[in-house]
């Protein structure tokens, strides 16, 4: 991916991985716009990075995405990259069906699946008009090998992986590259939001700064499937004959 001279919209860009990527691209001289639901968080991040723009955007709402697309394209006609980063992760135990909140499940599916679909649908007509453009979808190492504690989250990220593969194939003869970035377990507020911090087979989360450094190095290559750091282990496990062994290990 070309790492400079872009105009980039990053969803979920006010915190966590989204903010880390936004600030890294901003430091390289790109025009960066961050999107998210919390205006105060977006304003604070943009203020800390002079020149960075923002748009209030709810990726669970088709109407919000369409309105944001019209706004961003008008204000930033050179937009040529979107990064679908916004996501939520919840703990569900289907062995206790009475504990499952349907609205929470739908929120997770809406954010992690319908959000990227609606983003691509809304912004692709504009991206196709650019001489060089890219769509970067964030999946997860858990797309390839699930941790059963997060059954819906892992399934949604498996969807993102599959959708990205199909989208890449369909756009192969256009100016739009389609890239999948698959993080490992990264220490962000996504995990901190869980009531009980979790560890999986002795694994520890990757520091956010280390992940951003590794992710930016991977994005600078010509590769289009990018499992980062520890996600390479899950990626390999998910496609190998030892998949059952890997699954047992991370779900111990």
* Among 76, 150, 153, 235, the one annotated catalytic: 153
Contact 59, 118 (CB under 8 A): yes
Unique residue bearing structure tokens 């800390």 = 48
CA dihedral 171, 176, 177, 178 (to 10 degrees): -60
Number of helices (H) and strands (E) in the chain: give both, helices first: 10, 7
Unique residue bearing structure tokens 């911090």 = 197
Residue of 141, 224, 154, 235 lying closest to 183 (CA atoms)? 141
Whole-angstrom distance, CA of residue 98 vs CA of residue 112:
24
Region label for 31, one of left (φ > 0), alpha (ψ between -120 and 50) or beta (otherwise): beta
**Any catalytic annotation for residue 153?**
yes
* Contacts for 113-118: CB closer than 8 Å, 24+ residues apart: 113/156, 113/159, 113/160, 114/59, 114/60, 114/62, 115/11, 115/59, 115/60, 115/65, 115/84, 115/86, 115/87, 116/59, 116/84, 116/160, 116/163, 117/163, 118/59, 118/62, 118/65, 118/66
Q: What residues are labeled active site? A: 153
């Amino acid at each position: 991916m070309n790492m400079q001279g872009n105009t980039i919209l990053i969803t979920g860009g006010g915190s966590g991985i989204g903010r880390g990527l936004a600030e890294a691209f901003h430091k390289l001289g790109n025009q960066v716009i961050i999107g998210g639901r919390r205006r105060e968080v977006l304003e604070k991040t943009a203020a800390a990075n002079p020149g960075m723009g923002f748009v209030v955007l709810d990726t669970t709402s088709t109407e919000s995405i369409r309105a944001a697309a019209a706004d961003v394209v008008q204000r930033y006609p050179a937009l040529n990259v979107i990064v679908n980063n916004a996501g939520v992760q919840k703990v569900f135990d289907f062995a206790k069906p009475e504990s499952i909140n349907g609205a929470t499940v739908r929120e997770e599916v809406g954010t992690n699946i319908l959000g990227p679909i609606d983003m691509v649908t809304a912004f692709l007509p504009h991206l196709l008009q650019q001489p060089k453009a890219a769509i970067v979808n964030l999946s997860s190492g858990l797309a390839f090998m699930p941790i059963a504690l997060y059954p819906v989250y892992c399934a949604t990220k498996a969807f993102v992986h599959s959708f990205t593969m199909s989208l890449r194939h369909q756009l192969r003869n256009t100016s739009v590259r389609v890239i999948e970035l698959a993080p490992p377990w990264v220490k962000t507020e996504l995990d901190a939001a869980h009531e009980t911090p979790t560890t999986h087979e002795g694994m520890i989360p990757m520091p956010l700064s280390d992940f951003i450094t590794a992710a930016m190095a991977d994005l600078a290559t010509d590769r289009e499937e990018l499992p980062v750091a520890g996600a390479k282990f899950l990626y390999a496990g998910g496609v190998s004959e030892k998949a059952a062994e890997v699954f047992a290990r991370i779900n111990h």
